[in-house]
Amino acid sequence: MMREKGERMRKISGIQRRWLLNNVSVLMAIVFVIVIAYSVSIYAYYYNNMEDNLVSRARTTTDFFSSYMNQSYNEYYQSCVNFAKTFEDAGRMELQFIKTSGKIVASSYGQWSGQSPGTPEIAKAISTQEIQTYVGADPDTGERILAVSSPMIYINGEVIGILRYVTSLRLVDREITKNALLAIAAGILLIALVVLFGRYFISSIVRPVSEITATAKRIAAGSYGVQIPKEFDDEIGELVDTINDMSVKIAQTEKMQSEFISSVSHELRTPLTAISGWGETLLSDNSDPEENRKGIQIILRETQRLISMVEELLEFTRMQDGRFILNVRPCDIRSEFEDTVFMYGSRLRQEGIELEYLENDSDIPDEVPCDPERLRQVFLNLLDNAVKHGGSGKKITAEILRDGTDILIRIRDFGPGIPEDELPHVKQKFYKGSSKARGSGIGLAVCDEIVSLHNGSLEITNAEGGGACVSIRIPIEETLAKE
């Protein structure tokens, strides 16, 4: 029990491992890409908005100061100092006025002079006379900043300074980090939910599959007929139905094989006993010629029975291993059938059974492609079955006619018929049903195989008014084409 449980756990682990590799790893990659894309988009959104806002503000402020460009340098710088002192957003950002040498001459933070901020966008704005931006670490403090430098151009076209807005990125970076962490947490939660529900789903598959596997092993070990409880109406349920049906059919086949062996053993024992008994009688000092003659006839009859049984078994063996073939040639199928009926009828008259041949004017071709020896074997077997199972009716009818593109042959007895629940199984190998008649149970299976090899069909039904009727259809398309 523990061993089975261990094997089952290894199988579950194997399936889960494949599922993790094939699905969860892909999901993790997708979530990773989504988180990265989301973080990048948030980063771009915040930074671009801040940069656009500062660039617009720098441009507006520069345009405002252009009205002072006709003043002297000293008056101009004094205007910058006054503007810096009254800068309303000093709590959120710093406004700087910088000389072309890089020195700060005015700042909203109150530092009127000092060293150059040292960021590259200042020199670039002076050289290009266009607004430039910088995102990076402050050279003095190391803090991440966003700086926008706008050149201030005098009336003679000369750049006399730089208007520079600087803001810290600490809060923005914190917000971006928070959003990224939320995205990562959502991704991890999604993966966890997928893994949780996935394991539940896999368990709902593995558990019934493990039960099916265990039952299949029991069937393979010989527990034929065992059934698996059906819990689902899906593919698993279909598999359960299939294995249950297989188990039942194997059990039925095993039972029929056992019955077949028992039946064949009995069928062989009876004639062998008669042959052995009469052989001993003939070997004894018996001077009665009539009794000797009777014993020899019995020996010959029982020997013929044994030969027929052995031939039937050999035919069945050939059918099972694929060596059962036809020797097809054009022949008169009506004559073959009539000869078989008349020959068999003379024998039945001695037993008090009437075999009536129903003649008709049906247009049957003189030549039909078939194997006459095999078909004669079918006719004899079916007539023999009619006698065995319906001989109590003391009458059998036989007819052959053309039905469209088929040759139709019917053999009917007037006995008790076949129980309705046994009709679907009578052509199965080894099946004898409730019949007590002697036989191996493979004759009809051989007949059905011969007819199928002719691309025909063999059907057994109960006739109206009592008795069973066997119908054989043999197609004649090739003959029709010749005509």
Q: What is the pLDDT of residues 37-46, one digit of tens each?
A: 988 898 888 8
Cα 20 to its chain centre, rounded Å, is 21
Q: What confidence score (pLDDT) does residue 207 get?
A: 74
**CA-to-CA distance for 165 and 159, rounded, in angstroms?**
17
Q: Which residue has the higher pLDDT, 49 or 255?
A: 49
Q: Single out the residue in 174, 202, 226 at which a domain terminates.
A: 174
Residues 294 and 433 in one domain: no
Mean pLDDT of 308-324: 69
**Residue 325 — pLDDT band, cuts 50, 70, 90?**
confident
**Which of 85-94, 255-264, 299-308, 411-420 has maximum average pLDDT?**
411-420
Q: What confidence score (pLDDT) does residue 479 get?
A: 38
Q: What confidence score (pLDDT) does residue 135 get?
A: 92
Q: What confidence score (pLDDT) does residue 148 get?
A: 94
Residue 182 included in any domain: no
Q: Which residue has the higher pLDDT, 435 or 227?
A: 227
pLDDT surpassing 60 at residue 163: yes
Give the global pTM: 0.46
Residues 385 and 434 in one domain: yes
Q: What confidence score (pLDDT) does residue 387 get?
A: 86
CATH of residue 122: 3.30.450.20
pLDDT surpassing 50 at residue 481: no
Residues 372 and 400 in one domain: yes
For the segment 125-138, what is each residue's pLDDT rounded down to a tens digit?
989 999 999 999 98
**Residue 436 — pLDDT band, cuts 50, 70, 90?**
low
| Cα angle for residues 49, 163, 141 (degrees, 5° grid) | 75
Residues 68 and 108 in one domain: yes
Residues 335 and 432 in one domain: yes
Specify whether the CB–CB gap between 69 and 153 falls below 8 A.
Answer: yes
pLDDT surpassing 90 at residue 147: yes
Mean pLDDT of 165-193: 89
Residues 86 and 154 in one domain: yes
Residues 250 and 349 in one domain: no
Residue 210 included in any domain: no
Provide the mean pLDDT of the chain: 80
Specify whether the CB–CB gap between 293 and 282 falls below 8 A.
Answer: no
Q: Single out the residue in 143, 174, 205 at which a domain terminates.
A: 174
Task: Specify the residue for token string 């059962």.
Answer: 324
pLDDT surpassing 70 at residue 239: yes
Q: Which residue has the higher pLDDT, 295 or 96?
A: 96
Burial of 321 (0-12, 13-18, 19+ CB in 10 A): exposed
pLDDT surpassing 50 at residue 63: yes
What is the number of domains present in the chain? 3
**CA-to-CA distance for 234 and 28, rounded, in angstroms?**
30
Residue 92 lies in domain: 2-174
Mean pLDDT of 411-422: 88
Rg (CA), the chain: 51
Residues 137 and 265 in one domain: no
**CA-to-CA distance for 300 and 304, rounded, in angstroms?**
6
For the segment 331-382, what is each residue's pLDDT rounded down to a tens digit?
899 999 999 889 888 878 888 888 899 888 778 888 888 988 889 888 988 8
For the segment 81-126, what is each residue's pLDDT rounded down to a tens digit?
888 888 888 888 888 888 888 888 888 887 555 567 888 999 999 8
For the segment 183-220, what is each residue's pLDDT rounded down to a tens digit?
899 988 988 888 888 777 777 777 777 777 777 787 77
Q: What confidence score (pLDDT) does residue 289 get?
A: 76
| DSSP class per residue in 363-408 | ---S-EEE-HHHHHHHHHHHHHHHHHHHGGGSEEEEEEEEETTEEE
With CA atoms as reference, report the closest residue to 320 among 410, 234, 253, 242.
253
Residues 262 and 385 in one domain: no
pLDDT surpassing 60 at residue 10: no
Residue 211 included in any domain: no
pLDDT surpassing 60 at residue 471: yes
Q: What confidence score (pLDDT) does residue 366 get?
A: 85
Residues 478 and 333 in one domain: yes
Q: What confidence score (pLDDT) does residue 473 get?
A: 93
Mean pLDDT of 240-247: 81
pLDDT surpassing 90 at residue 7: no
Q: Is the dihedral of CA 377, 382, 388, 393 positive or negative?
A: negative
Residues 351 and 435 in one domain: yes
**Share of residues in the chain with pLDDT > 70 (%):** 83
pLDDT surpassing 50 at residue 2: no
Q: Which residue has the higher pLDDT, 36 or 290?
A: 36
With CA atoms as reference, report the closest residue to 195 among 36, 33, 30, 17.
17
- For 306, the token pair is 């044994």
CATH of residue 413: 3.30.565.10
Specify whether the CB–CB gap between 473 and 406 falls below 8 A.
Answer: yes
Residues 164 and 16 in one domain: yes
Q: Which residue has the higher pLDDT, 163 or 18?
A: 163
Mean pLDDT of 460-465: 88
What is the phi/psi pair of residue 295, to 5°? Answer: -65, -40
- For 408, the token pair is 């139709």
